[in-house]
Structure 1
Amino acid sequence: MQTSKTCVFCGNPANTREHIPAKQFFKGVPENRLITVPSCSDCNKNFQKNEDFFRQFLAGFLMDRSDHAKKLMENEVSRSIKRKPALGIQMFSQMKKVNLYTKSGIYLGPKTMYRVSDLDYKRINSVVEKIIKGLFYHEFGETIPEDWIIRIVWINPKRDKELGLTEMAKELKWNVIKDDTFAYGHQFVPETFQSIWILDFFKTPIFYILLINRTTAKEN
């Protein structure tokens, strides 16, 4: 078990705290409503670049479905892009407007499509892993054992149907940090804390995470 003097992410001595998810998602939310966990300055610094990209990706990806994501994209994200033009150029080069139709041909209107590269997946998954490590500590007061596997699944209609995620979500214990921004649900095995999680950003379930030890993984 890690203590409050140990960094949740690397195991080195903690000299600060880290917000879960990053504080940049929660403008105007009182500090006592946000989740923080023990961290070290090196980890905090190393997270920053990918977390900036993570916020910009989610805001751009979901701005057609969320007024809050759209406002975030038009304000904080736009200002961030002005400070770091290269990241903005990369992001916008991977976005385009498309006309969306149902399978029966009903027109649903223009939507933003984002092409996710292999590097993007890696960067985004690293932030999701950081969030899960923080939430695990927040819920159980322990760090995820080093020999456990963190499986991250990006939720889409096909995966939702295959895994039964809509029904599964109804059985999870949910914690809403900010109604229009972030919530998470989880369910765990007593004593071992092996668990399933769903991360919801801007009222949209985006990531399904399975935390299991290697023995369980081999059996499945």
Structure 2
Amino acid sequence: MSKRHVGKICVYCGTPPATMDHVLAREFLPISRRDNLPKVPACGACNGVKSGHEHYLTAVLPLAGNHRDALGVLSTMVEPRLAKNAKLKAQLASEQRQELILKNGMLVPSMTLPFDATRVDELFKFITQGLLFHHFGAILDRKKHGVWAGFLNRQGEEMHRQLLATPAPASPTI
């Protein structure tokens, strides 16, 4: 174990760390914006799982990005990432489809790609734990405390709308 890891534990699982992990992967940002990213101690297993999610998302997310940096990332970084991940490239190629979407009242053709949203969910859990440690020195044990990150599908959105439209139950009077 490196001297810089003595007395520390992996912020994600509590085992001895093997490395310092960037809480937010450098690859999510253009090279000019990668300075001073927070790092936390991580074991090899957690770092590997988190890295797998990061590699997947840094290859797929820029394809649909609206941020001003997305086009730059798309034009310079996605192709090399997919070249390193033949399995993902083949999956995206084989599962792409053309669909009609409603845009400004008209149906227009649009390409869709498969997307594994559970990878975003899992990565956000790691990021939450890393930021809690970096900013507050807190270790959040996922086995004892829930860490949730998620996205609403259409049914979830409808349920959420209904819940917000329903008045909150009255407080009991004493």
Q: Please say whether Structure 1 and Structure 2 have the same fold, judged by a TM-score greater than 0.5.
A: yes
Query: Pick from 107, 111, 122: which aligns with 1:126?
Result: 122
Map 1:18-37; keep pairs closer than 5 Å.
18-26=21-29, 27-32=31-36, 34-37=37-40
Q: Which residue of 1 aligns with 2:67?
A: 66
The one-letter amino acid paired with 2:32 is G
What is residue 145 of structure 2 aligned with on the other side?
A: 148
The 8 Å contact of residues 137 and 143 in structure 1, kept in 2 or not, is answered as: yes
For the structure 1 residues 4 and 157, does the alpha-carbon distance in structure 2 shift closer, same or farther, using more than 3 Å as the test?
Answer: farther
Change over 3 Å in CA distance of 1:157–1:11 after alignment to 2 = same
Distance 1:22 1:155, change over 3 A: farther
TM-score under structure 1 length normalisation: 0.57
What TM-score, normalized to structure 2? 0.70
Higher strand share: 1
Structure 2 vs 1, CA of residues 72 and 108 (structure 1 numbering), >3 Å: closer, same or farther? farther
Say if 1:4 and 1:14, in contact at 8 Å, map to a contact too: no
Structure with the bigger percentage of helix: 2
Q: Which amino acid aligns with 1:78?
A: E
**CA shift for structure 1 position 156:** 5.8
Give the conservation status (yes or no) of the 8 Å contact 1:59–1:73. yes
> 2:58 corresponds to which residue?
55
Q: Matched residue pairs, number? A: 155
The alignment partner of 1:37 has SS state of strand
CA distance in structure 1 between the partners assigned to 2:101 and 2:114 by the alignment = 15
Structure 2 segments unaligned to the other structure (5+ residues): 1-5, 162-174
Considering only CA atoms, is the larger Rg found in Structure 1 or Structure 2?
A: 2
* Inter-partner Cα distance in structure 2 for 1:108 and 1:4: 60
- Cα distance change of structure 1 residues 159 and 86 upon mapping to structure 2, 3 Å threshold: same
CA contact (8 A) 1:5 1:15 kept: no
Contact map agreement 1:56 1:77 (CA 8 A) in 2: yes
Identity percentage of aligned residues: 23
Give the one of 12, 24, 48 matched to 1:9.
12
Instruction: State the Cα distance separating 1:112 from its structure 2 match.
Output: 4.0
- Say whether the 8 Å CA contact 2:23–2:38 is kept in structure 1: yes
Letter in 1 for 2:145: W
Residue matched to 1:88: 89
Residue type at the aligned position of 2:10:
C
Cα distance between partner residues in 1 of 2:100 and 2:131: 37
Q: Distance in 2 between matches of 1:110 and 1:67?
A: 24
Asked if the contact 2:101–2:110 (Cα under 8 Å) also holds between the matched residues in 1, the reply is yes
Could you list the runs of 5+ residues in structure 1 that have no partner in the other structure? 165-220
Change in Cα spacing, 1:112 to 1:137, as seen in structure 2 (3 Å) is: farther
Instruction: Report which structure shows greater RCO (CA 8 Å, sep ≥6).
Output: 2
Aligned partner letter, 2:27: Q
Give the superposition deviation at 1:24: 0.8
2:113 matched to which residue of 1? 114
User: How far apart are the structure 2 equivalents of 1:136 and 1:21?
Assistant: 13
